[in-house]
Structure 1
């Protein structure tokens, strides 16, 4: 188990159980040893049979039905996203209130089963907070306890967290959600990061996060997004420990929409592309793929970016003799290595018959314009039957893996 003050933190409820055992032992008075975790009750070693109204008995505080176990009373330098943990004799009948120095109440979630209050966002740095726990009334016991703690100073080492997608975007059914970090996240902290990145899809769909590198994590559903799904994700990493003394810089939310379903399927055997919209074939068109020396990749990709007019320049990569610099219309990138769907009027006589491209999916000028006007970033294209298999990571290859394989990239 990792502690708050050293390597990392966890919201696990098991620490509450441990605290509860200590408190119940002290409160019952069955152990003659003094316990620093005991609050509000008589000294465990005191005589249970002391006469009522005696001077010793009158000085003993009443035992309590509730106690705060974490953060410790008067604790300093508390991590700003620390949960509040407590014990109680009646979970359902207990309330928790957290206030700042000005008396303003902190918003959060109360998990009565785990006996944990979790702030909705990171608490203010360098601020004193008061926890008030109120439990059921019980004869001979108090039912309210208070405890204070002070949060850590604002950290100087922070990690910026950014989303590739933004509010209001409409994307294809294959679009992964992409989060990037300004610094590598150590493996031992990635499960904590995933827990604080919550995706809500309407309608609901099963999905998971998958780390593509130490600085980037993607999310995809088990199968393609359902058309017209509303997607909202909240990333709550402000104040979260991210290793080596670094903390998350801020929180963010993104609210976007999945568009209609558009799937492009390309067969090297037939040299044809089939386009389906919402499950129905709307177009079949001839293509020319990569020639044997520069084959197209077989696998499932998505549209990464679109450029109506651009220039392909390979002279730096291949040299002035083998390289080329060619104006291109209706270019849609599908791999980082430079494979695109694009208009290629010079190969129209070859399309549907023979492969002549440098790895791209060549279509006619007219079909290039038609496709360009139909597609969204995140639309799916699957190519099959070529000499080379798509390498994972060469583009957004989230769908080039089985669901079982994809899940292995999560740290939960």
Structure 2
């Protein structure tokens, strides 16, 4: 059982280092790739992008007050557009353009509180926002604001998104946002308001922050429905934090959820029961961690898969746990080094006795079959061992009940979960 340090290699040559002083049966550093890119543009209807036909500007009263204020300077590139609307009035159009004439697309927040550009604004650039609203009697009013964004900050916070566009994941795949250094507790509300998730078909969800603020998970009350499309935007570019740092970039991804494939391991029986779409498809004898190096009890998900790898634990402080072993059909469950993998040397004990260094040992034949069936994000629940899964040791979003999970949100969560943040 070896200590494990992980290094995340971000898209765009961004490096993110995080480590956990945890132990497991493997010590193979994980290179986590982070998704970045341009968010999907909203549609061109007024409620989403502000490109509806212009309303005649026959003003029937004083101009609307627009935010950011006219003449404002050094505004964050995460700025959103809003206006003070008379009672009974309704915004009919928002047009945001850069000084070079480039038009900015965007979407309304679901509660109508502001209009969110589809991508971060550019640093050191002048923008003009024109907001048009109609009153109850059909009269129109307009407000205009020209503001300038701040220069690119020198001190930023690194972020990552564990989700790849055009990939298919298991039903237990949480949305995982990562930050280095962690987000201070007093900033998490503002940051969470800029973390947008949309599911099709719609399913409620919530965010949960790991205690040190280095990760936040998003999940639904139950596993995702098979066939779900998840669209995510972690819109942190330029968002100011209380420690003087700013978010570095926006990250986005659109991914699919595949069929339901769920694994359940019971230490009492030393067996894994495998369910596909709710039906038992295989029962597999296992050997879990021995008492001195127990497996973790809780719900984990497959984080990565390697057909062959090397477990090297020669730096373990306990000489009894030092070894170098070639491993086949390895599927990572924790950052600390717990895997499902082939263990031909323990087949005599599988189904009868725990002899591993914390991993789920199965026969080579069963390991090969499992490897051919699973996807990243497929959940596995282990129960009855001497150790409880540690929050943040892997993608541990499902190790909590829904009632416990929502307590980790920085914002109030409606009963049953929140809907999409953007209209």
TM-score range, shorter chain: 0.7 to 0.9
**Unpaired runs of 5+ in structure 2?**
1-58, 412-423
Greater RCO, 1 or 2 (C-alpha within 8 Å, sep 6+):
2
Written as runs of structure 1 = structure 2, the 5 A alignment for 1:135-174 is: 143-174=141-172
Taking a change above 3 Å as real, the CA distance of residues 321 and 174 of structure 1, as seen in their structure-2 partners, is closer
Taking a change above 3 Å as real, the CA distance of residues 68 and 113 of structure 1, as seen in their structure-2 partners, is farther
Partner of 1:324: 323
Asked whether the equivalents of residues 109 and 119 of structure 1 are also in contact (C-alpha less than 8 Å), the reply is yes
- Candidates 180, 195, 198, aligned match of 2:193: 195
Q: CA deviation at 1:108?
A: 3.2
Number of aligned residue pairs: give it.
Answer: 350
- Candidates 74, 77, 80, aligned match of 1:77: 74
Q: Secondary structure at the match of 1:75?
A: coil
Taking a change above 3 Å as real, the CA distance of residues 149 and 404 of structure 1, as seen in their structure-2 partners, is same
Asked whether the equivalents of residues 288 and 356 of structure 1 are also in contact (C-alpha less than 8 Å), the reply is yes
Taking a change above 3 Å as real, the CA distance of residues 170 and 64 of structure 1, as seen in their structure-2 partners, is same
Q: CA deviation at 1:381?
A: 1.3
**Unpaired runs of 5+ in structure 1?**
1-61
Deviates more, 1:300-309 or 1:128-137: 128-137
Asked whether the equivalents of residues 273 and 287 of structure 1 are also in contact (C-alpha less than 8 Å), the reply is yes
Q: Distance in 1 between matches of 2:135 and 2:382?
A: 69
- Candidates 105, 121, 124, aligned match of 1:123: 121
Structure of higher CA gyration radius? 1
Deviates more, 1:235-244 or 1:221-230: 235-244
Supply the RMSD in Å over aligned alpha carbons.
2.9
Q: Distance in 1 between matches of 2:265 and 2:135?
A: 71
TM (norm. structure 1) is 0.76
Q: Secondary structure at the match of 1:168?
A: coil
Taking a change above 3 Å as real, the CA distance of residues 382 and 115 of structure 1, as seen in their structure-2 partners, is closer
Taking a change above 3 Å as real, the CA distance of residues 153 and 331 of structure 1, as seen in their structure-2 partners, is closer
Written as runs of structure 1 = structure 2, the 5 A alignment for 1:13-412 is: 64-89=61-86, 91-92=89-90, 95-109=93-107, 116-134=114-132, 143-212=141-210, 213-318=212-317, 320=319, 323-412=322-411
Q: Distance in 2 between matches of 1:113 and 1:346?
A: 59
Deviates more, 1:349-358 or 1:167-176: 349-358
Q: Secondary structure at the match of 2:64?
A: strand
Q: CA deviation at 1:191?
A: 1.4
Q: CA deviation at 1:317?
A: 0.4
Asked whether the equivalents of residues 66 and 145 of structure 2 are also in contact (C-alpha less than 8 Å), the reply is no
Q: CA deviation at 1:330?
A: 1.5
Q: Distance in 1 between matches of 2:223 and 2:335?
A: 22
Indicate the structure with greater helix content. 1
Q: CA deviation at 1:378?
A: 1.6
TM (norm. structure 2) is 0.74
